[in-house]
Structure 1
Amino acid sequence: MKCYVVDAFTKEIFKGNPAAVCVLDTWLPDELMQAIAMENNLSETAFAVKEGDAYRLRWFTPGGEIDLCGHATLGTSFVLANFVEPKADRFVFHTLSGDLVVSRNGDLFSMDFPAYDMVPTPVTD
């Protein structure tokens, strides 16, 4: 397994929003991914496994797995584009929040976030 630390939303090292990115050949046990996230001690650690033409992507915080993390998804795309699939200009990720697509245009990456339906929520005491 290779693990990278990527600073999203910046061009400067040690700036922006850091995330760890682990590119795996096969899935590790959930407990081990959680332990790696705790050891990394960053807001998110992303784990990606290639599945067909897309990647399955999961995110862990030191406290547990989460449903969505934008900066770690962009960081994963950066790692894949620079170290795994340098000719790719589009990455599809299957996640707990549905499919996320990141497009690459040179050194720039863009992602469409999922939209959720707004529903009224009653106010409690």
Structure 2
Amino acid sequence: MKCYIVDAFAERLFEGNPAAVCVLDEWISAELMQNIAIENNLSETAFVVKQDNEYKLRWFTPGGEIDLCGHATLASAFVITAYYEPFMDIVQFQTMSGMLVVEKQENLFEMTFPSQTPAPCPLTEEMVDALDIKPVEAYLGRDLMLVLEDEKAVQNATPDFLKL
């Protein structure tokens, strides 16, 4: 297997958001992918397998598999177009979040994220305790989003990150 480290959102080396991209001929076990992600110790390690005219893509953090990662998807498209299919301008990835399409435009890559509308959820004592301020609203989708009164409230917040 070949593994690349790509800095997404960067103009120079050692900037941006790094992701590992592992290009496989066929799938390896989820346990082995997890161990590789732990060893890489980056926010995400992407695993890519070509099947027909598209690529299958999975993402692992050191803590487990996740359903979507933008910067590791862009990094995977870069690796494919730079080292495997240099004439390809559109890379299609089949993922846990559905089909993701990355378009190469000269030296830039563009991707449209799937829409995941969060639903309102009730505020809990744990949320208020973790933020040390009472949010105005709460929403739950892939992530929990808490809305504060205004920008100043956000700037002055002193959350307890261990509780979060």
TM-score, L = length of structure 1: 0.96
Letter in 2 for 1:2: K
State how far apart, in whole Å, the 2-side matches of 1:18 and 1:122 are: 35
Per the TM alignment, residue 119 of structure 1 is displaced from its structure 2 partner at its CA by: 2.3
Unaligned runs of 5+ in 2: 126-164
- Bigger CA radius of gyration: 2
Equivalent in the alignment of 2:152: none
Per the TM alignment, residue 122 of structure 1 is displaced from its structure 2 partner at its CA by: 2.5
TM-score, L = length of structure 2: 0.74
* RMSD of aligned Cα (Å): 0.9
Q: How does 1:44-63 map to 2 (within 5 A)?
A: 44-63=44-63
Equivalent in the alignment of 1:85: 85
State how far apart, in whole Å, the 1-side matches of 2:97 and 2:123 are: 26
State how far apart, in whole Å, the 2-side matches of 1:33 and 1:90 are: 26
Residue 48 of structure 2: SS of its match in structure 1? strand
Larger RCO (alpha carbons 8 Å, 6+ apart): 1
Residue 50 of structure 1: SS of its match in structure 2? strand
Q: How does 1:33-112 map to 2 (within 5 A)?
A: 33-112=33-112
Equivalent in the alignment of 2:12: 12
Equivalent in the alignment of 1:2: 2
Residue 10 of structure 1: SS of its match in structure 2? coil
Instruction: Show CA shifts across 1:48-88 (max 9, x none).
Output: 00111111100000110001100000000000000011000
State how far apart, in whole Å, the 2-side matches of 1:27 and 1:106 are: 31
State how far apart, in whole Å, the 1-side matches of 2:48 and 2:33 are: 11
Per the TM alignment, residue 117 of structure 1 is displaced from its structure 2 partner at its CA by: 2.8
Unaligned runs of 5+ in 1: none
Equivalent in the alignment of 2:140: none
Please, which moves more after superposition, 71-80 or 109-118? 109-118
